[in-house]
Structure 1
């Protein structure tokens, strides 16, 4: 890439077409990305250096117009200016490097968000198929599958990963990273909640603790890892119906009423307050269609349990009485 075009881009005088060309060039390889950052560092260094010199000359001219000072004081002043210039230069380079890196990262990411009560199905550039549950966000880079296969997940997703031994598939969540080569598995990791679960249907997965990558566990088919009391526990996967959400079904097998309400909160993005303590003794097995909505589900439950519910005007809070 021509240095003059890059400097026009740094100055903010490049055209939209030139900017898109530079963005495409940077994303084409890791070497180009590094060259872009190196040129930006040089540009910032030259820019700040010229500013520091101009300020220094201005200060020197002021000194000449004033009565003479002791030579030692002048020398100390020049040394102080040099020190300030070095500090400012270092801070400026680090700041602009980080800013441009974050800006470029944001521009090169694909972000898919699924609203409450909905689900979505997408195919990634490597051929992997992903179902995203309600209130879920997933991000992946435009360079996905060139150097690595990494997705950032906030919520719940079902993955059918295309095999590629050279590029492991990694799902990053707030607490754990799930790494695979080619398999089918479900990950539930909604942000701000203590719950985390990975269920393996086919293949194999490795779960790494972000705080300590050396600590990891492996799953075999029909196993799931569930976070309990701050630790991952491996249990047998004896009910796959709970992962039929990708078919639009909310399935319960011997679930407590409170756990059911928590599921509804996740799917529909509402807050449910249970005031009826008798309802907490109830366990339920059955299925609901996600598209039918929470009112339909609660009306069905009313036939079996003596409950009533009220919603706030905006529908964001539901009281179970």
Structure 2
């Protein structure tokens, strides 16, 4: 029945007969699967044994036959891999910062440009119900594939999908996670792109254990290769990273202006389109920044390196880093900033478009905004503390002095 067939690891793990055979210690349909194994080449036998190893790990959960299925195998094995990945990464972490979720070695925030991206293809059957038409809602969190298909993450999304080469992905409304078998070496050179719209945040757990939180109006592109000499990430917008330490495979962040090499670090990189510069602010550790001409500088904690788009010189100065990283805790901090310069941040924060009638744009604002407070709370604060009134028309907010 299985003659001349060759199953990949993920296909074996999706085969109910194979699962039951391994569960029975090879007593069921023994001749069929043994004959199948004999016809395999070395690579096929390695996949066969790996699938058996995976199932045996799952079976340590002591499940009964009533709950045993390929869906259960995928779900439980993914959980095992996620726990294993977190434990291995936590052993390498040498510090804890102010957020619970950030418990890995090198932690930083990134805001900058990204190029075009392609993606290692997910199972079409699994993704089909999340497929977005050519004209999709830009308020959705999206995953872009190499074929330029878009899949949206909905409020009720809670799926577990099996990918090729033993790489698993789990998705829900808050986070997408990539995990692999403990000893798997994947050489995929295709990238994933995750797109987050205004007014939303989204978390990503990369295959190497690196944790990412994407801010609103941001994109991230990366691949799942574990064999490349370097781990490269491209960003547009803003993201907070907790990078899994791996001295053999340094983590590189690249923009059109700067290349940042992670040396064990917490830092912020900003290159939103409304700015005419790229800035890198170091919280902890050490980073090396370089411009296109090859000039470089090692940045110390509490310093910011800034490179203007029309210049080549790297300028380094002291700065209050907590104001920069506050967004990761759901807070925006402003110190004597003109309201006009704040508008791009407020547009992303509240997913609206602010307008001015006149001199309001020059008003200097000092204060703290919390993500938990809505737009009306902010507008009421402006009205009663600063004397600035407002008018809302659909998604447009006009500010004016009465």
| Range class of TM-score, shorter chain | 0.5 to 0.7
* SS class of match (1:246): helix
Aligned-residue CA RMSD in angstroms? 3.3
1:215 is aligned, of 295, 299, 310, to 295
1:93-121 per-residue CA deviation (whole Å, 9 max, x = no partner) reads xxxxxxxx978793732222222122233
Match of 2:225 in 1: 143
Aligned to 1:112, the other structure's residue is in SS state strand
1:155 shift after superposition: 0.6
User: Cα distance, 1:319 vs. partner?
Assistant: 1.9
Aligned to 2:375: 294
Q: CA deviation at 1:269?
A: 4.3
Select which of 160, 168, 184 maps to 2:242: 160
Q: Which has the higher contact order (CA 8 A, sep 6+)?
A: 2
Matches within 5 A, 1:55-204: 106=146, 108-144=190-226, 146-191=228-273, 193-204=275-286
- Structure 1 position 177, deviation (Å): 2.0
> How many angstroms apart in 2 are the aligned matches of 1:139 and 1:103?
9
Runs of 4+ aligned residues of structure 1 deviating over 4 Å after TM superposition are 101-105
Superposed displacement of residue 293, structure 1: 3.1
Q: Structure 1, unaligned stretches of length 5 or more?
A: 1-16, 18-24, 26-100
Describe the superposition over 1:129-154 as per-residue Cα deviations: whole angstroms up to 9, x where unpaired: 32221111111012156442111100
Closer/same/farther in 2, CA of residues 273 and 144 from structure 1, 3 Å limit: farther
Q: Distance in 2 between matches of 1:145 and 1:300?
A: 53
C-alpha distance in 1, partners of 2:242/2:335?
Answer: 25
| CA apart distance, 1:263 | 1.8
SS of match in other structure, 1:183: strand
- 1-side partners of 2:360 and 2:272: how far apart? 29
Distance 1:281 1:182, change over 3 A: same
Report how far residue 160 of structure 1 moved.
2.7
Partner-residue secondary structure (3-state), 1:250: strand
Given the two structures, how large is their TM-score scaled by the length of structure 2? 0.49
The answer as to whether partners of 1:197 and 1:224 remain within 8 angstroms in 2 is yes
SS in 2 for 1:196: strand
